[in-house]
Amino acid sequence: MTTISGKCLCGAVAFEADRTSNRVDACHCDACRRWSGHFWASVNVRRETVKFLRGEEKVVWFRSSAEVRRGFCTQCGSALFWQPDRHPVHHHIFAISAGSIDKPTGLALSEHIFVGEKGDYYGIADGLPQKTGH
């Protein structure tokens, strides 16, 4: 178990969490691309290990589907969290944007998911696994 820390662009929201893996997934689905501005790269932690150091009240949650909500800083707009809070099995997952994690992150991009929905303006040529689903 390793503790990671991160914050949004303006710094109003800061947090820590325990990660169990160093894997970063890059999601190329339509929703993640629109929300993040490109593709969404995140690390999964367990929801109960997330501790807000400040600004939890500045996080606004947008419900992007019946089972999933996405959290962003209401002050600067940074996309921070993806969370399947209403998923019957995976509700304990709390995905944190890789870009918000403080360096050294100890993380490594590990795979691309939903590549069938990726944007048409870029290629993926880093040799990592590519999945059409997740």
Closer CB to Zn ion, 2 or 122, in the complex: 122
Residue 68 CB, shortest distance to Zn ion, in Å, is 9
Residue 72 CB, shortest distance to Zn ion, in Å, is 8
Closer CB to Zn ion, 30 or 48, in the complex: 30
Residue 60 CB, shortest distance to Zn ion, in Å, is 11
Closer CB to Zn ion, 9 or 105, in the complex: 9
Which of 65, 69, 87 lies closest to 79, judged by CA?
A: 69
Residue 21 CB, shortest distance to Zn ion, in Å, is 18
List, in sequence order, every residue forming a beta bridge with 17; answer none if it has no partner: 4
Alpha carbons 77 and 27: distance in angstroms, whole number: 19
Closer CB to Zn ion, 4 or 68, in the complex: 68
Per CB under 5 A, residues contacting Zn ion are: 8, 10, 12, 27, 29, 32, 73, 75-76
Alpha carbons 5 and 106: distance in angstroms, whole number: 11
* Beta strand spans in the chain (E): 2-7, 14-27, 40-46, 51-54, 59-63, 69-73, 79-83, 93-97, 108-113
